[in-house]
Amino acid sequence: MDKKRKVYAPFSQTSEAGVTQTPVEGYIDVNQTIYPTVSTGVVNEKGIWSGVKSDDVEFTIMGADENIPNGGEVLAPAGDPDHIDMSGFKDLLIAIKPTSGGNYAMSAVIGPDTNRFANLSPINSGTNIRGNVYDTTTASIETLFSDGGESMTGDVWNIYPIQGRLSGQKILQFKITNNSGGASDIQFAFMRLV
């Protein structure tokens, strides 16, 4: 936005001549232009560019694991991508679309072991993620996300928000167990939130 305003010119030609009071026409036009700025990130102390994170706009939808028997397990996501990277993200939405309605167990696990956790390899993949949560007063290590029996409706997306518990997890998968009583196809999707 452009704007003009008049300001006093303390070093105008009349001031240089020794006039101590405000001279006639001692004001000049000054153009002021305001430009919006957008911060897209910073260069950190190691000289590496670090962009500002933003929410995923849409769910990342994975292909269906087909004909999973009652009691059978799947790890999701699998394929490309084969894990969820929560670096810089706080909350997570997961969605599961089974073909058979009924109970399903879900657990957040670390993995897969084909990826490094920062510079650590091998990792204990497939195990429940355990840690301490920021918003609790307990100092003990606990399982961060595990639900032994969530009732789901068949052939629709069942969406679950997970707030804060898995923030910053670098390699994350979900172990989903079919306890519906029959075989089911299971499709998985996720969306990360800042």
Q: Tens-digit pLDDT profile for the chain (194 aa)? A: 566 666 665 555 555 555 555 555 566 677 777 778 888 888 888 888 888 889 999 999 999 999 999 999 999 999 899 999 999 999 999 999 999 999 999 999 999 989 889 899 999 999 999 998 776 666 788 899 999 999 999 999 999 999 999 999 999 999 999 999 999 999 999 999 99
Give the per-residue pLDDT at 91. Answer: 96
Write the CA distances from 125 to 68, 75, 116, 175, integer angstroms: 21, 11, 10, 11
Phi and psi dihedrals of 157, rounded to 5? -80, 125
Quote the pLDDT of residue 19.
Answer: 57
For domain 53-193, give its CATH number from 3.90.550.10, 3.40.50.2300, 2.60.120.680, 2.70.98.40: 2.60.120.680
Closest by alpha carbon to 180, among 106, 98, 108, 107? 98
What's the CA gap between 179 and 95, in Å, rounded?
17
The pLDDT assigned to 52 comes to: 84
Contacts of residue 123, Cβ cutoff 8 Å, sequence gap at least 6:
110, 111, 113, 115, 116, 117, 171
List the domain boundaries for the chain: 2-33, 53-193
